[in-house]
Amino acid sequence: MRLAHYEDQALERISVAETQSVRDTMKVMSDAGLRLVPVLSADRTRFAGVVADGDLRRYLARGGGLDAPVGEATNRAPTVTSEAMNSADIRSMMLRRGLEYLPQIRDGRLTALFVLWAASSPQDTTAVIMAGGLGSRLAPLTDNCPKPLLMLAGKPILTHIIEHLRDEGVTRFILSVNYLGDMIVDHYGDGSALDVSIDYVHETMRMGTGGALGLIEPEALSDPFLCLNGDVLNDVDVSALRSEHDENAWDATMVVRDHNYTVPYGVVRRSKTGLFEGSDEKPTLVFQINAGIYMLSKSSLSVIPKQKFYDLPTLFEDMKEARLRGGTYTHSGRWIDIGNLAELERAASIYEGHKP
């Protein structure tokens, strides 16, 4: 599911006054491609409620007229929120409560409308998850358990990843397994318990984050397909990522995110001749880092060697030589790379509220 939100002028365009006609309201809905719109007071200064397409159908079935004011069909007690939450928390709350639309109200005024869109054509996106790592930095927890099966909030790390992608509309998965891979296969089987389809490829050697793609028949993949590491908890918007990838006609898209680093010293600026020009006390530098999530077109597979160790970041360098186009997509939401015990503890504090 993809979260969209309307505010300011966009919100004004999809809102109707309670004195406007049912006919006008139906046109606003149709033009916006929405099944529900906010209803405002006659002077458009106060929130009056919402009206859904079902409300209008029921109103007309009772004998209401197309030219009657839409206020007569308005739901004046809808579910709303006044809380200031980030998009990930709003989306999570809407999914838990089964809400497709959620108005945000502040002091009786409509400030935003959140909408959960069903991801289109989920069968068109395959997700390849690299789940074969040793997880040596998480020893001894991984001595007898593969890292993707380590428990977090009552379920394995990998289940959190699969469930998020499933909620984004992805239902076809290929898991690349190696270390204690049979445990992963035994746990997930064909994926039916999670309402998805899961196939497997088995690495017989260390193949890096990209080498396993050479083991997958291209016919088994969508075009493009999603590829990610099996230890990265995230809430990436798959539809937005794919749209960015498609609209730019990139052969591969790397998801990146901002990483801040504060220099623990004063940084001196000087001229080439050594003349003092100024200084900055403990400045914060911002870098964009690789998030370990990729949208790949099949054209990129031509660059990946067969039966060799190969890391996906290398793909973007090699594609330049092959005259293929690589792009980036910035993700600013949740992202936790479970690479060590400290990050596992941080994930536990978020998902469980305590350390494991």
What contacts 288, CB < 8 A, 6 or more positions away? 256, 257, 258, 259, 328, 330
Q: Would you state the structure tokens that stand for residue 124, as one six-digit string?
A: 């068109």
**52 vs 78: CA distance, rounded Å:** 11
Please name the helix (run of DSSP H) or strand (run of DSSP E) that holds residue 202, with its range, or none: strand 197-202
**269 vs 272: CA distance, rounded Å:** 10
The three-class DSSP label of residue 185 is helix
Catalytic-residue membership of 282: yes
Please name the helix (run of DSSP H) or strand (run of DSSP E) that holds residue 162, with its range, or none: helix 157-167
Beta strand pairing call for 252-262 and 266-270:
unpaired
Annotated active-site residue in 27, 155, 282, 355: 282
- Which of 197-233 are b and which e, b meaning 16 or more Cβ less than 10 Å from the residue's Cβ? ebebbebeeebbbbbbbeebeeeebbebbbbbbbbbb
Catalytic sites, residue numbers: 282
